[in-house]
Amino acid sequence: MNLNERIEALTKLGTLLQKEDEAKQAAVHLAKLHNPWFTKENSENALHTIATEFLNKEKLEAWLTAYPNLDNKSSAPKSVGLVLAGNIPAVGFQDVITVFITGNKALIKLSDKDKYLIQYLISALNKVDERTKDYFTFVPMLKEFDGVIATGSNNSSVYFERYFSKKPNIIRKNRNSVAILTGKETKKELKDLATDVFKYFGLGCRSVSKIYVPEDYDFIPLMEALDDYKEVMDHTKYRNNFDYNRSVYLLNRLPHLVNDCIMVLEDSSPLSRIATLHYQKYSDLEKVQKDIEEQKEQLQCVATQLNLSPIATVKLGETQTPALNDYADGVDTVAFLLSL
């Protein structure tokens, strides 16, 4: 398949995903049974984002303008191993798309937490164009490959770096996202921030897990905005985490704010427990920028209404809708694949 044919196949998949489809609903149902964090709403949200942000023809073509030599690629397809993450529904599909759009073949090692949605997406792509079957193989273990993209935790990355060291690779570790507030945010902006915090139960690398606030920050409007998501407490696993972590904070006498669905705790770490949002106070924005620069290897997104150039930022409410060129860890995956 040439580049235009691959773009057309992905576009057809995007159209299919936006229709009622029994196979899609079956995959969503199985995903929820297998992994309770993958609720019907979250899986459908993820598939909708994939359809509208990743599988839109205009957005695909705009993305690829940065790689003018891609259409002239004449070398034989490379076999690219993909070790996919499973923290949120279908999170690894962006890597799958990238391998396919560059004309390479994906050897896919699924996460045990996300077995059904990725398989459904590949099956649906095969349905709209049978020629795509040659581009994807599911494997229990990676053995023969020309390059690899492996996503995991800080612990698993140590193993990945050793195991894949002899091949070109991208190894991804834990990442978190932060927001910088001024205290002048509108109610809508705080509600948008709440979406960044709660979507996918805060389990994604693009989920805001820490906020920077001014020294005299009034937390009441923020806590009210966050309380709009109190329905998350209907989810058994989230509630269990909330209750356990609240007990830990109380037993250790850690001061914290709490509403009906989340605890807000003063802590400089960008990594927070489930049902917890960290905050750090500031008196000087330059120090915040310096702090972010020092932690850039741990951060995926910085959300704010401020202009912090040269630091790349997104608006509040936009962390969970990445574009095709919002590469994990900031590493250009297409450029990596073209270099194989």
Task: Indicate if 231 and 192 belong to the same structural domain.
Answer: yes
Task: Indicate if 151 and 297 belong to the same structural domain.
Answer: no
**Based on the number of CB atoms within 10 Å of its own CB, is 233 exposed (0-12), middle (13-18) or buried (19 or more)?**
middle
| The pair of three-digit structure tokens given for residue 312, joined into one six-digit string | 């790349």
320 is a domain residue: no
332 is a domain residue: no
326 is a domain residue: no
Residue 151 belongs to domain with CATH number: 3.40.605.10
User: Residue 222 and residue 190: Cα distance in Å, rounded?
Assistant: 6
Helix (H) or strand (E) holding 29: helix 22-34
Task: Indicate if 163 and 193 belong to the same structural domain.
Answer: no
**DSSP-assigned letter for residue 55:** S
CB atoms within 10 A of CB 283: 9
Query: Are the CB atoms for 160 and 152 separated by under 8 Å?
Result: yes
For the chain, the domain total comes to: 2
Using the 3D structure, point to which of 174, 202, 219 is the last residue of a domain: 174
Residue from 232, 318, 313 nearest 276 by CA: 232
Residue 251 belongs to domain with CATH number: 3.40.309.10
Using the 3D structure, point to which of 153, 174, 195 is the last residue of a domain: 174
User: Residue 188 and residue 120: Cα distance in Å, rounded?
Assistant: 36
325 is a domain residue: no
Separation in Å, CA 62 to CA 5, 121, 333? 16, 23, 16
The mean pLDDT values, 10 residues at a time, for the chain of 340 residues are: 96 96 96 97 97 97 93 82 96 97 97 96 97 96 94 87 92 95 97 97 97 97 97 97 97 96 97 97 95 93 94 95 91 94
Place of tokens 């770096």: 161
User: Residue 100 and residue 42: Cα distance in Å, rounded?
Assistant: 25
Task: Indicate if 216 and 170 belong to the same structural domain.
Answer: no
Task: Please list, residue by residue across 55-65, b when 16 or more beta carbons sit within 10 angstroms of its beta carbon and e when fewer do.
Answer: bbeebbeebbe
334 is a domain residue: no
Task: Indicate if 159 and 254 belong to the same structural domain.
Answer: no
Q: What is the pTM of this model?
A: 0.93
Task: Indicate if 15 and 150 belong to the same structural domain.
Answer: yes
Task: Indicate if 161 and 240 belong to the same structural domain.
Answer: no
Query: What are phi and psi for residue 15, nearest 5 degrees?
Result: -65, -45
DSSP per residue, 182-231: -S---HHHHHHHHHHHHGGGG-STTSEEEEEEETT---HHHHHHHGGGGG
- Give the N- to C-terminal CA distance of the chain in Å, as an integer: 19
Task: Indicate if 152 and 23 belong to the same structural domain.
Answer: yes
Task: Indicate if 144 and 244 belong to the same structural domain.
Answer: no
Task: Indicate if 125 and 235 belong to the same structural domain.
Answer: no
Using the 3D structure, point to which of 174, 205, 222 is the last residue of a domain: 174
Task: Indicate if 253 and 293 belong to the same structural domain.
Answer: yes
Task: Indicate if 163 and 185 belong to the same structural domain.
Answer: no
- Identify the domain containing residue 191 by its residue range: 176-304
